[in-house]
A and B are shown apart, each in its own frame.
Chain A
Amino acid sequence: MITITNLVRTYQTGDNEVRALRNIDLAIATGEFAAIAGPSGSGKTTLLNLIGCIDEPDEGTIEINGSVVHAGKAKERALFRRENLGFVFQSFNLVPVLTAEENIALSLSLLDMPAAERRERLRAIIDEVGLTGMEDRRPARLSGGQQQRVAVARALVKDPKLVLADEPTANLDSETGAAILDLMHELNQSHKTTFVFSTHDPMVMDRADRLITLRDGRIVDDDLRRRAS
């Protein structure tokens, strides 16, 4: 599903050049539940941003389902994101003036979809992520775990091919974080959606089917054993 070839991304910070990613080659298959791990500054978020078409590489290519995703114009990339990708952020990034249901529906409002189908999808995903009864609450009245559930639902409701999650448990306590990971895994299984997430939390790494480890912008380990098991 995702084929990354010789990916290079360099940042300029003042007079210094930071090589965030160095010649990354990687393939992720459809339906994988893969974690990208590594210490701070290893390039995890940069790699996710590039896969998510919100950043552009200096060299190399990223293909998703056979298309080079960063080749098009900004509007084409935006269209690709709205139709194919879901994002889950470390700090949830919910819209505070919208209720839980409205936040989830925001994702669907970008798609041309009959109102009945939209309502049906909303009802189903709210049920799946365990937010029934909390639909009308605004983010301020939800716990961190509940807010991340809303964010996961918002990413999944449009049935994307790929969900990218940047440190999805970093702002949660370990118990809540584990619950969110379990939820994401269940959804990965039930929706057959590919999940790629970054983390430096051992608990999260343990729950991943595949663990890709980055250090100084390079892949230093790619543990496929869990997927095999």
Chain B
Amino acid sequence: MNARAGVALAWKNLFRHGRRTIITASALAFGLLVYIMADSMLRGIEVDTERNLILYETGAAQVLAEGYLEERDLRPLRYAIETPEEIESALEESGIKAVARTTFSGELIVFQDPFPEDGSVQVTGYGIDPSDDGDVYRLEETITKGRFLEPGEDGAVLGGWLAEDIGADVGYPITIVTRTRGGFFQTLELDVVGIADTPNPIINRYAVFVPIDTADFYLQMEGAVTEIAVAGKLRGVDRALTAQMEQELASFPGVDVVGWDRLAMDYVAIAQTKNSGSSTILFFVFVIAAVGVSNTVLMSILERRREIGMMRAMGLYDGEIRRLLLLEAAGIGVIGAGIGIALGAVTNYFLVTNGIDYSFWLRDMDAGYRITGVLRGVWNGDTFASAFAAGVIITVITAMMPVRRALRTTIVESLRTD
């Protein structure tokens, strides 16, 4: 059968039972719509999380003292970079923006008056350079109350959720109990000068920022810092950047260069889990499509057994009939996938422009993602293309079995069918 006649016949057969075709295609379309939406949101969360990690928590990469990374959760001050200025200069000479920080853990203690009640909470302290921190981080832009830090002051900026949890306000005194680099207990008496509402929940919930020279004094760091963070691209791990840093710092013994992904292993683990979640969605799309299409093709073939027998008697090869029936199945796939990605595009437009406000439960959830409020989707052409291709391929593959069954029947049996 010539190709044109085959395509024309397959197209007409598609609409022989138009309602059935549309219902089957709709099942496929719905599955693909769910896939596109889920993928868009999960990718959106990834984009936001990586940006919020890099801009508020880790930078694009960090220089750490050897041994620090393995014990980073304990915030050990004994693994410190002794000559941060030299390293910063070396990096900045090669065009890399760098800023030093000292991170420490401590217990924040508050007392009634002015606080609503006595209590303590574990916090992460960040000694930051108020004049240079903006080269890498965006903390200053998120101050919603009070002001940003000034060098040398005994002041603190609190994460927004932390301030809310303990009832802190600008001007309130706080006490942080920690240990110095030498291991001695130390108390930092500070005044809250500002409150930062960042889009990073870890910072919002646990962070207390103090000027780095104040931290240096109380923690007896003697000019050393725990990390030097650098600016870089906001999506994905910048391997070129870390490679360049390693090259620039080859002459500095005892330091490691690590990308942000190694500083946020909790998130990386979640992101990998998400990928398997996407595969699960795709699997369910496959099941929905497979059941619907298989049923439609099977019914179509059973109804047309005599017609198929007639065409075989006329001299159509089995391969030609197989192609004809698979072309019809592909047609259902094209219609379903077309509707699916069209609906997906409309829905995704809403997700990208407006997003969905999940702030009411994100506040209470610590899922590893660095997002606090509105979840937005992203446009990803690959997802649309793969959804379309998957829809068509799934329908064709699913149709193969009933088609094979139809062609196993002899011509005489087919023609005898009532």
What residues of chain A have their CB less than 8 Å away from a CB belonging to chain B? 49, 52, 54-55, 74-75, 78-83, 85, 87, 89, 91, 93, 95-98, 102, 105-107, 109-110
| Beta-carbon contact of A89 and B310 below 8 Å | yes
Given A54-B412, A55-B412: A93 touches B306 (CB 8 Å cut-off): yes
Known: A91-B306, A106-B311. 16 other contacts (CB 8 A): A49-B412, A54-B410, A55-B412, A75-B318, A78-B317, A87-B314, A93-B306, A93-B310, A95-B9, A95-B307, A96-B16, A105-B5, A106-B1, A106-B5, A107-B314, A109-B1
**Interface check B415, CB cutoff 8 A:** yes
Given A55-B412, A87-B310, A93-B310: A82 touches B315 (CB 8 Å cut-off): yes
**Interface check B316, CB cutoff 8 A:** yes
Min Cβ gap B76→A in Å is 77
CB proximity to A under 8 Å, residues B365-418: 410-412, 415
A55 contacts across to B, CB distance below 8 A: 410-412
| Beta-carbon contact of B315 and A83 below 8 Å | yes
Closest to A86 in B: B314
26 interchain pairs, CB-CB under 8 A: A54-B312, A54-B411, A54-B412, A54-B415, A55-B410, A55-B412, A74-B318, A75-B318, A78-B316, A82-B316, A85-B315, A89-B415, A93-B306, A93-B415, A95-B9, A97-B9, A97-B13, A105-B5, A106-B1, A106-B5, A106-B9, A107-B314, A109-B1, A109-B2, A109-B6, A110-B315
| Beta-carbon contact of B307 and A81 below 8 Å | no
A97 contacts across to B, CB distance below 8 A: 9, 12-13, 15-16
**Interface check B243, CB cutoff 8 A:** no
| Beta-carbon contact of A78 and B312 below 8 Å | yes
Min Cβ gap A90→B in Å is 10
Most buried by B among A49, A102, A109: A109
* Cα–Cα distance between A85 and B315 once the two chains are bound (Å): 9
Closest to A92 in B: B310
**Interface check B250, CB cutoff 8 A:** no
* Cα–Cα distance between A121 and B325 once the two chains are bound (Å): 28
B5 contacts across to A, CB distance below 8 A: 105-106, 109
Min Cβ gap B256→A in Å is 68
Contact digits for B4-34, partner A, Cβ 8 Å, 1 yes 0 no? 0110110011011000000000000000000
Contact digits for B291-334, partner A, Cβ 8 Å, 1 yes 0 no? 00000000000000011011111111110000000000000000
* Cα–Cα distance between A52 and B5 once the two chains are bound (Å): 24
Given A52-B313, A75-B317: A93 touches B307 (CB 8 Å cut-off): yes
Given A98-B12, A106-B5: A82 touches B314 (CB 8 Å cut-off): yes
Most buried by B among A54, A83, A89, A105: A54
Min Cβ gap A61→B in Å is 19
Min Cβ gap B204→A in Å is 63
Closest to A118 in B: B2
| Beta-carbon contact of A106 and B314 below 8 Å | yes
* Cα–Cα distance between A87 and B307 once the two chains are bound (Å): 13
* Cα–Cα distance between A103 and B229 once the two chains are bound (Å): 75
* Cα–Cα distance between A95 and B5 once the two chains are bound (Å): 13
Closest to A95 in B: B307
Closest to A11 in B: B412
| Beta-carbon contact of B15 and A110 below 8 Å | no
B15 contacts across to A, CB distance below 8 A: 97
Min Cβ gap A22→B in Å is 19
A82 contacts across to B, CB distance below 8 A: 314-316
* Cα–Cα distance between A89 and B314 once the two chains are bound (Å): 11
| Beta-carbon contact of B306 and A81 below 8 Å | no
* Cα–Cα distance between A96 and B16 once the two chains are bound (Å): 8
* Cα–Cα distance between A95 and B6 once the two chains are bound (Å): 13
Min Cβ gap A160→B in Å is 10
* Cα–Cα distance between A98 and B9 once the two chains are bound (Å): 8
Min Cβ gap B203→A in Å is 65
B6 contacts across to A, CB distance below 8 A: 109
* Cα–Cα distance between A102 and B11 once the two chains are bound (Å): 14
| Beta-carbon contact of B9 and A110 below 8 Å | no
Min Cβ gap B23→A in Å is 19
B310 contacts across to A, CB distance below 8 A: 87, 89, 93
A89 contacts across to B, CB distance below 8 A: 310, 415
Min Cβ gap A221→B in Å is 26
Most buried by A among B312, B314, B412: B314
Min Cβ gap B13→A in Å is 6
The 4 closest A-B pairs by CB, nearest first: A82-B315, A109-B5, A93-B310, A97-B12
A107 contacts across to B, CB distance below 8 A: 314
B412 contacts across to A, CB distance below 8 A: 49, 54-55
A96 contacts across to B, CB distance below 8 A: 16
A102 contacts across to B, CB distance below 8 A: 8
Closest to B13 in A: A97
Min Cβ gap A47→B in Å is 12
A87 contacts across to B, CB distance below 8 A: 310, 313-314
* Cα–Cα distance between A54 and B313 once the two chains are bound (Å): 6
- Choose from B2, B309, B315 the contact partner of A78 (Cβ within 8 Å): B315
Min Cβ gap A126→B in Å is 17
* Cα–Cα distance between A68 and B9 once the two chains are bound (Å): 33
Closest to A97 in B: B12
Closest to B8 in A: A102
B314 contacts across to A, CB distance below 8 A: 81-82, 87, 106-107, 110
* Cα–Cα distance between A193 and B312 once the two chains are bound (Å): 22
B312 contacts across to A, CB distance below 8 A: 54, 78
A81 contacts across to B, CB distance below 8 A: 313-315
| Beta-carbon contact of A110 and B307 below 8 Å | no
* Cα–Cα distance between A168 and B204 once the two chains are bound (Å): 86
B311 contacts across to A, CB distance below 8 A: 106
Closest to B4 in A: A109
A105 contacts across to B, CB distance below 8 A: 5
* Cα–Cα distance between A102 and B314 once the two chains are bound (Å): 15
